[in-house]
């Protein structure tokens, strides 16, 4: 395990906040309709707010992502649509917050507590990974070398994005207490995968460790 203290250069580091949307964090959204524990997913909001404050104070780049599809669902793979239907939360169907996982709907947007600032990038992604069919790579290529990754869900969108980032050569730090799995039993397993083979997918650190690294 790498125990070297973390130090982040705000010029070459970005905070990547994954899918902190009403559809995943609100009781009326997609995740709740699919039977996921929204209370567990929303439990990381306060810690992500701390990360955002530290990143913004340092001048670090902040990027938010939102999973969702075009209103006509033309960018939603049929098998993904079928799976959502079988889970009881069909993408595009109407829920309390609007059509589930559809861009422009109230549920698709990021929760008020973590609302992006006007100058911060917001990446709309049709898949689980944030690089798939998005402009994220070109945005980060401007000089970003390190990513601090937080958000939901650990085992799906966080892990998918992490793996895509590693394959693209970014150094990555996943926030242990700043991400949540849909099932708490999956959280530790998903984090443990990162450390195999000497940290094949980067490092895992707490919010407190990362804030110290930003302020150093």
Confirm whether 138 is domain-assigned.
yes
Confirm whether 52 is domain-assigned.
yes
Cα end-to-end distance, the chain, whole Å: 22
d(CA 28, CA 44): 18
Confirm whether 145 is domain-assigned.
yes
Confirm whether 65 is domain-assigned.
yes
Return the active site residues: 19, 125, 157
Question: Phi and psi of 122, rounded to 5°?
Answer: -125, 120
Confirm whether 68 is domain-assigned.
yes
* pLDDT tens per residue across span 169-216: 999 999 999 999 999 899 999 999 999 999 999 999 999 999 999 998
Confirm whether 113 is domain-assigned.
yes
* pLDDT tens per residue across span 33-87: 999 999 999 999 999 999 999 999 999 999 999 999 999 999 999 999 999 999 9
Confirm whether 124 is domain-assigned.
yes
Q: What is the count of structural domains for the chain? A: 1
The one-character DSSP state at 130 is S
Structure confidence at residue 1 (pLDDT): 65
The residue segments making up the domain with residue 48 are 13-215
**Residue where the block lists tokens 């549920």:** 107
- CATH code, domain with 49: 3.40.50.850
Confirm whether 4 is domain-assigned.
no
d(CA 121, CA 133): 16
- Is the Cβ–Cβ distance between 110 and 104 less than 8 Å? no
pLDDT over threshold 90, residue 2: no
């Amino acid at each position: 395990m790498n125990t070297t203290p973390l130090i982040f250069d705000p010029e070459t580091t970005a905070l990547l906040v994954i899918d902190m949307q009403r559809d995943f964090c609100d009781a009326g959204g997609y995740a709740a309709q699919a039977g996921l524990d929204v209370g567990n997913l929303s439990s990381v909001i306060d810690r992500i707010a701390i990360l955002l404050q530290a990143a913004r104070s340092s001048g670090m780049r902040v990027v938010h992502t939102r999973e969702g599809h075009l209103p006509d669902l033309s960018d939603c793979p049929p098998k993904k649509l079928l799976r959502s239907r079988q889970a009881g939360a069909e993408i595009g169907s109407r829920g309390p917050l609007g059509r589930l996982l559809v861009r422009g709907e109230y549920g698709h947007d990021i929760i008020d507590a973590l609302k992006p600032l006007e100058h911060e990038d917001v990446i709309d992604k049709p898949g689980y990974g944030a690089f798939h069919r998005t402009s994220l790579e070109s945005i980060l290529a401007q000089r970003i070398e390190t990513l601090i990754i937080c958000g939901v869900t650990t085992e799906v969108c966080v892990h998918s994005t992490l793996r895509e980032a590693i394959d693209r050569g970014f150094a990555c730090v996943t926030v242990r207490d700043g991400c949540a799995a849909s099932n708490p039993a999956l959280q530790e397993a998903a984090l443990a995968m990162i450390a195999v083979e000497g940290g094949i997918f980067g490092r895992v650190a707490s919010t407190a460790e990362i804030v110290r690294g930003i302020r150093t």
